Structure 1
Amino acid sequence: MSICDLEQHLSLIDFPGRLTVSVADPGAVHPPLHPVEEAAVLRAVSGRRAEFAAGRVAARMALAQMGLPGVSIPMAEDRAPVWPAGTVGSISHTGTACIAITGDSEDYAGLGIDLEDAGSLDISLRREIGTKKELDQISDDHGIAATRLFSLKEAAYKAQYNLSRTVFGFGALELTDGGKCLRFARPVPPFKKGDCLPVLQWNVGDMWLSLCALSASFLHVKS
């Protein structure tokens, strides 16, 4: 699917309020990375560099829509993007498209976006992603369901990481509420066991797009 086709699909999505979304083609020629960004991929292979560069381009375009043109987005030691003060965001890369979403930190405590090529996940990986109960909430075709669940959990993980800075596996989050939320199976401070992260998912051509947007009041509501 071309970037133009992806942008057309995205234009039909009613994203939550005051979020900006942009995409970029990793196969296109983009302006040079900022020096602080270049340092993150000095030893990376060409494919990784292309995806990283397109992701930064998409992120800069999203931030420009917020009135922050041309800013640098360095990579922290934990490899997470470092967003400008007062903003939150998320980036997702594939071999054919990169997408970024940004918002104001007064509105959102964390954002997570994930873009995955549609298709069936290999049976050897499905148990690692989720349980039969989780997969059944998405589709009778567990190969397709596993791909979609992987994307949902990736988006939720990214959103919560902005608050917890904790690395964990797929089993720490359980799909519930008919696929509308991912529940913590154990405490991951500041989240408690049972806290739910809201998730949304759309089919965009031959890809799945997942989003987790945590409002700035999320933890206050949960406390």
Structure 2
Amino acid sequence: MIEKILPPWVASAEAFDDPPGVTLFPEEEVVIARAVDKRRREFTTARHCARLALDRIGLAPVPILPGERGAPGWPEGVVGAITHCAGYRAAAVSREALSVGIDAEPHEALPDGIIDSITLPEERDAMARLDSGVHWDRLLFSAKESVYKAWFPLARRWLGFEEARLAFSPSGTFTARFLVPGPVVSGRELTGFTGRWLVADGLVVTAIALPRATR
């Protein structure tokens, strides 16, 4: 599913359950040693997906350890992202991108009281005018998660929900405009991202892949 919204120069792998027999590297076992079963299963299957995706770009299995702010640590020359939610885990990697962000969420309304804390007034106004067949609040939350995952490796600093303004097209694309100074990429300040979204199989998935300037 996730591959439908990623460009061909980004490799991905996904799972809709937790396959038996998946093992972790010893370094990863240390990270997850005290985790509850749910967290262990998410972590293990997500790493399994990450290694499948790395294999698709010709790289051998390696430990994928959480780094700064929990961001996955990829092999040198690789960028990528991991996501997991109930019934879904996925990873996306690339040697031809500057940054990648993906996120998956259940396609259902956000819990009460969340929407105002993650959206701007103009975003709420825009969502009210969109097709009611999509849970736009959950989609917006997912897209902002993808924005942050693509932002952080470039900026190395936090980006709050209120610091990017998102707009969606029913055709399956979205734009994110930064409301704070963006990171400098290839000598120019980055002012935003474009991404894609998809609703299928009870899930909403979002993705951003920022190409290198030479593409």
TM-score range, shorter chain: 0.7 to 0.9
Give the unaligned 5+ runs of structure 2: none
Give the unaligned 5+ runs of structure 1: 1-8, 219-223
Does residue 206 (structure 1) correspond to residue 202 (structure 2)? The answer is: yes
Q: CA deviation at 1:52?
A: 0.4
Q: CA deviation at 1:177?
A: 6.9
Hey, what does 1:99 align to over in structure 2? 90
| Shift in CA distance, 127/193, structure 1 to aligned 2, threshold 3 Å | farther
| Shift in CA distance, 35/209, structure 1 to aligned 2, threshold 3 Å | same
- In proportion to residue count, which structure has more helix? 1
Distance 2:134 2:113 in 1: 10
1:77-104 alpha-carbon deviations (Å, 9 max, x no partner): 4311110111111000112110001111
TM-score by length of 1: 0.83
| Shift in CA distance, 133/78, structure 1 to aligned 2, threshold 3 Å | closer
Which of the numbers 90, 93, 98 marks the counterpart of 1:109? Answer: 98
Q: Is the 8 A contact 1:185 1:194 kept in 2?
A: no
* RMSD between aligned residues: 2.5
The amino acid that maps onto 2:135 is I
The amino acid that maps onto 1:126 is I
Q: Which has the higher contact order (CA 8 A, sep 6+)?
A: 2
Does residue 78 (structure 1) correspond to residue 69 (structure 2)? The answer is: yes
SS in 1 for 2:65: coil
User: Which aligned runs of 4 or more in structure 1 are off by greater than 3 angstroms?
Assistant: 135-138, 140-143, 176-179, 188-194
Which of the numbers 182, 191, 204 marks the counterpart of 1:195? Answer: 191
TM-score by length of 2: 0.86
- In proportion to residue count, which structure has more strand? 2
| Shift in CA distance, 77/10, structure 1 to aligned 2, threshold 3 Å | closer
Q: CA deviation at 1:142?
A: 10
Distance 2:198 2:74 in 1: 25
The amino acid that maps onto 2:196 is L
| Shift in CA distance, 40/26, structure 1 to aligned 2, threshold 3 Å | farther
| Shift in CA distance, 123/116, structure 1 to aligned 2, threshold 3 Å | same
Distance 2:2 2:73 in 1: 25
Distance 2:120 2:69 in 1: 29
| Shift in CA distance, 134/144, structure 1 to aligned 2, threshold 3 Å | same
1:59-79 alpha-carbon deviations (Å, 9 max, x no partner): 000000111132221221431
